[in-house]
Structures are given as structure tokens and as C-alpha cells.
Amino acid sequence: MLIERVIAEDCYALRESILRPGQPKENWTFEADDDPRTIHLAMKDGEDIVAIVSLLPEVKEGCSWRLRGMAVKEQLQGQGIGQQLLVTLVAMVKDDLWCTARKDVHDFYLKNGFEVFGDEFVMNNLEHVLMRRVRS
């Protein structure tokens, strides 16, 4: 398997099926998807995209980049693929990152250098927590 930079459209299928099943397109496409600064990464098994993540130039409380759309195909979860993709993405920028993490997976981000900041909130009927990864 190889990590490759891709375009937003390449991320749509997994975003929809893993993160927002049954939801309209506006729920799994992002305003900055086609911004030239945005980075979309995919883990590919041949031509098959098995995991995705995006980094968007959205500023929040001093963090310059928003991590969004992190998803691994269901049958391949728990094998280190998500972490490989996240580590590669984090290494591509120098500034601090933030994301809204689903509460039930926020340990995944804690294990990868993120910390919680701010209160928990509910989005799409799921508990979320704001997280950031600050460069030391």
C-alpha cells in the first residue's frame, strides 16, 4: 500500500460511506476542498483507495490547519493504516492543527500528539470534542 496526494473528489466515496452514510452531498464536501492550499491524502492498495484524510486552511484559535474527513475502510480499521496516514499528513505542515474529533475515537488522536481544548459538543447526533496538535 502507498500513500498518495489526491484530489477532493477521490475522497468522496469513503467520506460518504464511512463518515456520513445516507447524508446529502453538502454534509461530506467541504468549502475549502478545492482550495489550492488544501492537502488530501489517500492510502491506496493498487487503484483502490482504502483510507483518506484532508487538511484544510481553516484557522481556529491560533491553529492554521483543520484536519477533516479521516476515514479507513471498515474491514481494514485497527491495522495501523489511519495512523500512518495521519503521521504523514502532520509531517507535511509546520503549523498547529485542529479538528473536531468524534468522542468515541478521540483516543486515536491522543495517541498521535493531539490534545483536547474546549468543551464537548454534539454534531450530527454524535458527541464531539475539539482537539489540536501544537508544535513544541
Ligand X SMILES: CC(C)(COP(=O)(O)OP(=O)(O)OC[C@H]1O[C@@H](n2cnc3c(N)ncnc32)[C@H](O)[C@@H]1OP(=O)(O)O)[C@@H](O)C(=O)NCCC(=O)NCCS
Residue 82 sits in the site that holds ligand X (CB under 6 A): yes
Residue 118 sits in the site that holds ligand X (CB under 6 A): no
Rounded CA separation 83/85 (Å)? 5
Residue 80 sits in the site that holds ligand X (CB under 6 A): yes
Residue 124 sits in the site that holds ligand X (CB under 6 A): no
Residue 45, CA distances (Å) to 9, 18, 52, 82 in order: 18, 18, 12, 14
Which cell numbers hold the place of 92? Answer: 507535511
Helices (H) and strands (E) in the chain, counts: 3, 7
Secondary structure of residue 99 in the 3-state scheme: strand
Residue 23 sits in the site that holds ligand X (CB under 6 A): no
Which of these segments, 21-29, 56-64, 88-96, 107-115, binds ligand X (CB under 6 A)? Answer: 107-115
Residue 8 sits in the site that holds ligand X (CB under 6 A): no
Tell me, by CB under 6 A, how many residues bind ligand X. 18
Binding site for ligand X (CB under 6 A): 18-19, 70-72, 77-83, 101-102, 105, 107-108, 111
